[in-house]
């Protein structure tokens, strides 16, 4: 299997399969629910060639892979045996309310995201064919294409019944049966077949005619096809009921009695109470989102359009997905997700400027596929791989996205289908009756303005200097290693200690990447003073933007990596100070950086510092025994082979 070794390495570095409660994937990420995130080796994952970066958000441990994530997921699932796992995460109730909500929504919608987007794209293009006069709505071709695209949305509660019930720890097919009852055609058709028996809540916003009763209890019939919230709420309670019955029903009767009792309780309860209340809540949610939009479409466009990539970084974008789906179901249109349309093209514009300005060949190779991905709506490769590490391209993308969102808001562009992102989102802007109207063409204007603005800002003010370009790729993937200087003849070398402290065997430290020797051979030091000095004379070949690690190539060709603390990359430079830059000349004993030991340890990080020679294969390496060392102490003797 192509990704078998990658899958093994990922599983190992997330703490082993026994540390994984569940794993799913979205467009670019593996989304793990781990029992103990502290067991995951984030730095080792970040140093893997096929991993873009690692994010922790919404209670999930997210390993960003890129466009081929589906293939990697299959390998991970097969290697870890995760495909058979359907139990609920025992830690699901932990974490703050926002994290739990995001985790719930992503867990329900992630499994169906690809077919949801595909169906929306097909519906959008079908509308485009009609608008261009290529098809008529009476044509058989149109009707069949519409059935293919609209089928999922009409029966969306059934699909959600499966994924939501699975997420809540119940039997997925039981969730589907609940949804099937809600969209049962004979029940949906009753209101059109005669007069109501009576009316409930007359004269209020909840006024509802009653056509049937269940055991003498009035049933308010709602239209549940295309709905979102009612089935999610129903399956939540269904999972609780099923679990309760599973504990008390004898084993010999569980197979049929548990689902029977669950259905006979939850389905009538949903028709009588849960469904109407959830439907009213859905209508209020739709009205509220539109109301906020109508207060100022331009400000809404600036905020949602500008901060969408930030939402994606922290997983907060999942909170808007059910809102949009609910708007389509209750209002037939959505003004919210439209406002993010320009962000893909803003990123593509910024990346295009990076290609022109950078002199680094790795960046030039990485960026073109990221541009293509961005145009088609997948922004993670370009965002994490190039724009974020270079900082200003990301900032200019955000600004340009905000401008694009403001244009979309000003022209009142709306979405009429749940479509994809990037160019695939455009057909969803076609008005069902007016076709290609002004608001549709406003989306093209927003797309062009955002892309051109991001390009111009990045090109002229992006700071893509030679030094930045040289580290763009390594910073983007967080795989920053000392760069080899092939022109230097490798000679024997003696390294002095870069720290004052106590020597520790490298294999004994709590970091498998360093302890295994995968990143180089050497020693570890427990520092007692927060000052790091150079162990050799040479050149700074790599300096992490978080300042916690530095690479030096000595005058004799030794490539040395010093990593202050374990997992301290997560501090994002806090408690570290240096005035050095990559390419600077340093002398043995010269101060490289300072760090605050007490504050780093109070933040929960170990200060153990690996000192390794990354090109150790060119040397016979001998550790000079010490217990305590100072910057004058000789610690490593390198003899050329």
Q: Please name which of 602, 541, 552 lies closest in space to residue 574, comparing C-alpha atoms.
A: 602
Whether the Cβ atoms of residue 209 and residue 192 lie closer than 8 Å to each other: no
Distance in angstroms (rounded) separating the CA atoms of residues 217 and 201: 15
Greater pLDDT, 516 or 461: 461
Residue 102 — very low, low, confident or very high, per pLDDT cuts 50/70/90? Answer: low
Q: What is the predicted pLDDT for the residue at 331?
A: 81
User: What share of the chain in percent tops pLDDT 90?
Assistant: 35
What's domain 481-640's superfamily in CATH? Answer: Glucose Permease (Domain IIA) (2.70.70.10)
Q: Please name which of 604, 576, 392, 384 lies closest in space to residue 478, comparing C-alpha atoms.
A: 384
Range with the poorest average pLDDT among 19-33, 270-284, 574-588:
19-33
Query: Mean pLDDT across the stretch 590-611?
Result: 91
CATH topology (fold) of 4-95: Gyrase A; domain 2 (3.30.1360)
Greater pLDDT, 561 or 106: 561
For residue 315, pLDDT over 60 is answered with: no
Tokens encoding 375: 């145009």
List, by residue number, the catalytic residues.
26
Q: What is the predicted pLDDT for the residue at 31?
A: 84
**CA dist 133 to 128, 158, 227, 612, Å?**
8, 34, 31, 67
**CA dist 351 to 185, 343, 458, 588, 608, Å?**
51, 12, 8, 40, 38
Q: What is the mean pLDDT of the chain?
A: 83
For residue 633, pLDDT over 60 is answered with: yes
344-355 residue pLDDT tens: 999 999 999 998
Residue 96 — very low, low, confident or very high, per pLDDT cuts 50/70/90? Answer: low
Distance in angstroms (rounded) separating the CA atoms of residues 438 and 446: 12
- 């992490």: which residue's tokens? 544
Greater pLDDT, 346 or 310: 346
Query: Mean pLDDT across the stretch 386-403?
Result: 89
Range with the poorest average pLDDT among 232-241, 411-420, 468-477, 552-561:
468-477
Q: What is the predicted pLDDT for the residue at 83?
A: 58
Query: Mean pLDDT across the stretch 97-113?
Result: 69
Distance in angstroms (rounded) separating the CA atoms of residues 418 and 84: 31
Range with the poorest average pLDDT among 48-52, 221-225, 495-499, 590-594:
48-52
Identify the top-confidence range among 66-80, 137-151, 173-187, 316-330. Answer: 173-187
Q: What is the pTM of this model?
A: 0.53
Greater pLDDT, 67 or 7: 7
Q: What is the predicted pLDDT for the residue at 328?
A: 83
Identify the top-confidence range among 67-76, 146-155, 452-461, 471-480. Answer: 452-461
Max distance between CA atoms of the chain, in angstroms, equals 97
Q: What is the predicted pLDDT for the residue at 513?
A: 67
161-203 residue pLDDT tens: 999 998 888 999 999 999 999 999 989 888 877 889 999 988 8
For residue 497, pLDDT over 50 is answered with: yes
Q: What is the predicted pLDDT for the residue at 485?
A: 41
**CA dist 52 to 5, 46, 104, 159, 567, Å?**
17, 7, 25, 31, 17
For residue 480, pLDDT over 50 is answered with: no
Range with the poorest average pLDDT among 79-83, 452-456, 615-619:
79-83
What are the boundaries of each domain within the chain? 4-95, 155-289, 296-476, 481-640
Greater pLDDT, 491 or 475: 491
């Amino acid at each position: 299997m192509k990704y078998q070794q990658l899958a093994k390495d990922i599983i190992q570095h997330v703490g082993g399969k026994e540390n994984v409660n569940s794993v799913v994937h979205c467009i670019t990420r593996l989304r793990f629910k781990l029992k103990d995130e502290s067991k995951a080796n984030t730095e080792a994952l970040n140093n893997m060639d096929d991993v873009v970066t690692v994010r922790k958000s919404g209670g999930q441990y997210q390993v960003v892979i890129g466009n081929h994530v589906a293939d990697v997921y299959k390998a991970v699932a097969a290697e870890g045996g995760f495909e058979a796992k359907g139990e609920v995460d025992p830690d699901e109730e932990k974490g703050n309310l926002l994290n739990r909500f995001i985790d719930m929504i992503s867990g329900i919608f992630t499994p169906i995201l690809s077919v949801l987007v595909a169906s929306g794209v097909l519906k959008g293009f079908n509308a485009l064919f009609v608008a261009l006069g290529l098809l008529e709505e009476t044509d058989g071709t149109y009707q069949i294409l519409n059935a293919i695209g609209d089928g999922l949305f009409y029966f969306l509660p059934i699909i959600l019944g499966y994924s939501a019930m699975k997420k809540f720890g119940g039997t997925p097919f039981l969730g589907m049966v609940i949804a099937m009852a809600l969209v049962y055609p004979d029940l949906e058709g009753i209101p059109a077949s005669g007069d109501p028996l009576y009316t409930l809540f007359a004269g209020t916003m909840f006024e509802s005619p009653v056509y049937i009763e269940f055991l003498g209890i009035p049933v308010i019939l709602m239209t549940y096809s295309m709905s979102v919230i009612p089935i999610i709420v129903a399956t939540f309670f269904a999972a609780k009921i099923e679990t309760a019955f599973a504990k008390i029903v004898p084993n010999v009767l569980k197979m049929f009695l548990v689902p029977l009792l669950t259905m006979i309780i939850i389905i009538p309860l949903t028709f009588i109470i849960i469904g109407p209340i959830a439907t009213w809540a859905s209508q209020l949610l739709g009205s509220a989102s539109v109301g906020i939009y109508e207060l100022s479409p331009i400000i809404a466009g600036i905020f949602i359009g500008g901060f969408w990539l930030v939402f994606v970084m922290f997983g907060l974008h999942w909170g808007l997905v059910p809102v949009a789906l609910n708007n389509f179901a209750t209002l037939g249109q959505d003004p919210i997700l439209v406002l993010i349309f320009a962000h893909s093209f803003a990123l593509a514009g910024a990346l295009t400027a990076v290609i022109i300005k950078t002199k680094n060949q790795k960046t030039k190779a990485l960026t073109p596929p990221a541009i293509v991905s961005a145009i088609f709506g997948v922004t993670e490769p370009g965002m994490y791989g190039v724009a974020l590490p270079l900082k200003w391209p990301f900032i200019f993308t955000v600004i340009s996205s905000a401008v694009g969102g403001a244009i979309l808001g000003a022209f009142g562009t709306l979405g009429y289908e749940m479509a994809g992102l990037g160019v695939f989102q455009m057909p969803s802007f076609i008005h069902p009756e007016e076709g290609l109207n002004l608001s549709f063409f406003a989306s093209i204007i927003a797309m062009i303005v955002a892309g051109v603005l991001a390009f111009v800002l990045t090109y002229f003010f992006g700071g893509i200097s030679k030094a930045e370009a040289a580290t763009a790729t390594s910073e983007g993937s967080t795989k920053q290693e000392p760069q080899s200087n092939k022109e230097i003849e490798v000679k024997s070398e003696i390294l002095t200690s870069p720290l004052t402290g106590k020597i520790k065997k490298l294999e004994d430290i709590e970091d498998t990447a360093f302890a295994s020797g995968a990143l180089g051979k050497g020693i570890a030091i427990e520092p007692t003073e927060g000052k790091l000095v150079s162990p050799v004379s040479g050149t700074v070949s790599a300096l992490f933007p978080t300042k916690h690690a530095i690479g030096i190539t000595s005058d004799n060709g030794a490539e040395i990596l010093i990593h202050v603390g374990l997992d301290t990359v997560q501090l994002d430079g806090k408690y570290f100070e240096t005035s050095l830059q990559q390419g600077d000349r340093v002398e043995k004993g010269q101060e490289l950086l300072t760090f605050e030991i007490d504050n780093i340890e109070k933040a929960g990080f170990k200060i153990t510092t690996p000192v390794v020679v990354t090109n150790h294969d060119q040397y016979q390496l001998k550790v000079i025994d010490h217990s305590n060392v100072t910057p004058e102490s000789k610690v490593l003797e390198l003899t050329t082979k």
